[in-house]
Copies of this chain bind each other. A is one copy, B any other.
């Protein structure tokens, strides 16, 4: 069962850039992109604690970069690539295109 929550507007360009300027968060976004689809939280980071990760998810969510959904009782994070692209064409996609291999 998929239970998608209310999705807020994408934040300002400033919000989006600030959200992506943190290494932990950029890595999260990259993993979501690589995973293609809702991904359980725990697969999106390592090196920081659960509470820190949750803090970063919140910032990404408030910037409108990601979305939260609950699938079978488990929280998943979902990249809102299309929405961000619609708001700021090329910004997120070009960032994700950096470092094609590795």
Instruction: Give, as a whole number of angstroms, the nearest-CB distance from A75 to chain B.
Output: 27
Contact of A98 among B26, B88, B99 (CB under 8 A): B88
Enumerate chain B residues within 8 angstroms of A21, measured Cβ to Cβ.
14, 17-18, 20-21
In angstroms, Cα B13 to Cα A95, docked, is: 8
- Cβ of A35 within 8 Å of any chain B Cβ, yes or no, is no
Shortest CB distance A18–B (Å): 4
The reply to whether the CB of A37 lies closer than 8 angstroms to some CB of chain B is no
Residues of B within 8 A of A90 (CB): 90, 93-94, 97
Closest 9 CB pairs of A and B: A90-B94, A18-B21, A21-B21, A17-B21, A91-B94, A13-B98, A88-B98, A17-B20, A90-B90
Contacts A88-B98, A90-B93 known; 8 new A-B pairs at CB < 8 A: A14-B21, A17-B26, A18-B21, A21-B21, A90-B94, A90-B97, A91-B91, A91-B95
